[in-house]
Structure 1
Amino acid sequence: MKRILLVHGWGFGPSLWEPLREALPGPRWFTLDLGYFGPARLELPPALDLVVGHSFGCLWALREPALDGVPLVAVNGFARFSAAADYPEGTPVRVLDRMLDRLQADPGGVLRAFHARLGTEPPPGEPDVARLRADLLRMRDEDARGLRQPVLALGAADDPLVPMAFGGRPWPTGGHVLPLTRPGDLARALPA
């Protein structure tokens, strides 16, 4: 039985993956929790066949040494999020700095604005501002381009947040949350 690790993106929780797990009940799923709305669960299971990273979860997986050699599928994912001289299509750093400035004083407002842009709701629970801030800084500062390429990059042409950074062929619709909007298509697209 295939063993697949799922890593959610910034501002989300493991529940993001429930529609995919229902659409593809065959594999043995392992879901990390980056700890934005409850205790973090970051223990990596052994003998993984595949890692699926959503948005920041893709960058997280690219930078995790223990996952070297495990095939990676990028779902609305990126190896670099913020703009740079050689990556002008990235999000302007000033946008991330503005979010960082507001996060301490009004974490709920920052999360509501972020999720409103995506057409989703923040997960339930008290936001862990320190974890959200740390990973927002990673999104602003880290660059994993050149580390390795995903075996498959999936996205949507109407994603308001992330261009197809890995050059995959996007679906025309689905936004930034393909695990919620296209779980059946996503399940069929995963490597067998």
Structure 2
Amino acid sequence: MRLVFVHGWALGPECWDLVSPLLKSFPQARVDLGYFGAPRLPDPHPGDILIGHSAGFLWGLRQRADWAGMVAINSFSRFCLDAQGRGCVKPAALRAMQAQLARDAEECVRNFRASIGAPAAPELVEAAPLAEGLELLRSFDVLPHLGEKPLLVLATKDDALAPAREAENLAQGLGASLFFSEKGGHGLPWAAPEFCAGKIEKFLQAQ
């Protein structure tokens, strides 16, 4: 069993620096989607567990269907609202992000990271993979890709980007375990690492 950590949009693998040491008894790998330099994509292993933050969970589901288990942190069934009301933001809001990214990638990333309480971004910003990440958020629907694998959903009640109802939509797709932290915003991996690691460890032991 190996834990494969995937960071969210406009973030990097360092967002797991506080969670990863708390799960050191498990083999681990971190994906780097290349938003601030060269990407790093670990080769798949049998028994891998996807641990995805926000859009990182969507990316992991798009990459492969044979995860042994999955953990979604601050994630959602959809990002853009659909006709049934599933999603986090109106499509126009995402189009505005895409326009800002095309106009000034550094400012777009800086503003987004500040809005979720993430540390300042590195100076080097790679616009092309960031644009690909926004396109994934525009179109990807998680529910058809969940399969029958064990799923743990971790969320916060004060997440201004991914509302609680979206965590519920995601968990209901598989009848998954869902746990809320009272606080942490959209940054559970760095705002509440003990909460994340404790729930993940119990989930893994149960599987």
- TM-score, length of structure 2 as denominator length: 0.85
8 Å CA contact 2:6–2:32 kept in 1: the answer is yes
Please identify which structure carries the higher helix content: 2
C-alpha change, 1:176 and 1:91, in structure 2 (3 Å) is same
Deviation at 1:28, TM superposition (A): 1.2
Q: State the SS of the aligned residue for 1:179.
A: helix
Taking the aligned partners of 1:63 and 1:40, their CA distance within structure 2 comes to 17
How far is the alpha carbon of 1:104 from its aligned partner?
1.8
Compared with structure 1, are the counterparts of its residues 115 and 42 closer, same or farther at alpha carbon in structure 2 (3 Å cutoff)? same
Q: Name the SS for the 1:72 alignment partner.
A: strand
Cα offsets for 1:5-62 (capped at 9, x unmatched): 0000001000000100122221111000000001011233312341101000111112
Say whether the 8 Å CA contact 2:54–2:75 is kept in structure 1: yes
Q: Distance in 2 between matches of 1:180 and 1:169?
A: 17
Deviation at 1:63, TM superposition (A): 1.4
* Residue of structure 2 equivalent to 1:152: 152
Q: Kindly indicate whether the alpha-carbon contact (under 8 Å) linking 2:29 and 2:42 is maintained by their aligned counterparts in 1.
A: no
Cα distance, 1:137 vs structure 2: 1.1
Alignment of 1:12-31 (within 5 A): 12-31=11-30
User: Which residue number in structure 2 is paired with residue 109 of structure 1?
Assistant: 107
Is the 8 Å Cα contact of residues 181 and 195 (structure 2) preserved in structure 1? no
TM-aligned CA distance change 1:78 to 1:20, over 3 Å? same
Q: Indicate whether 1:70 and 2:65 are aligned.
A: no
Question: Alpha carbon RMSD of aligned pairs, Å?
Answer: 1.6
Distance of 2:119 and 2:106 partners within structure 1: 11
Count of aligned pairs between the two proteins: 190
Aligned residue for 1:155, secondary structure, equals: strand
Pairing 1:172–2:182 present: yes
Q: Structure 1 length as normaliser, TM-score?
A: 0.92
Alpha carbons 2:61, 2:142 under 8 Å: kept:
yes
More strand by share: 2
One-letter code of the match for 2:127?
V
CA–CA separation in structure 1 for the residues paired with 2:123 and 2:43: 24
What code does the residue aligned with 1:43 have? P
Task: Output the CA distance in 1 between the equivalents of 2:82 and 2:3.
Answer: 33
Q: Secondary structure at the match of 2:119?
A: coil
Identity among equivalent positions (%) equals 33
What is the deviation of 1:88? 4.5
**What SS does the aligned partner of 2:3 have?**
strand
Q: Tell me how far 1:128 sits from its aligned partner.
A: 0.6
The answer as to whether partners of 2:76 and 2:87 remain within 8 angstroms in 1 is no
Deviation at 1:89, TM superposition (A): 4.4
- Bigger drift between 108-117 and 118-127 goes to 118-127
Given candidates 133, 136, 139, the residue that maps to 2:134 is: 136
Distance across 1 between alignment mates of 2:153 and 2:190: 17
**SS of corresponding position for 2:18:** helix
Taking the aligned partners of 1:15 and 1:64, their CA distance within structure 2 comes to: 21
Segments of 5+ residues of structure 2 without an aligned counterpart are 172-177
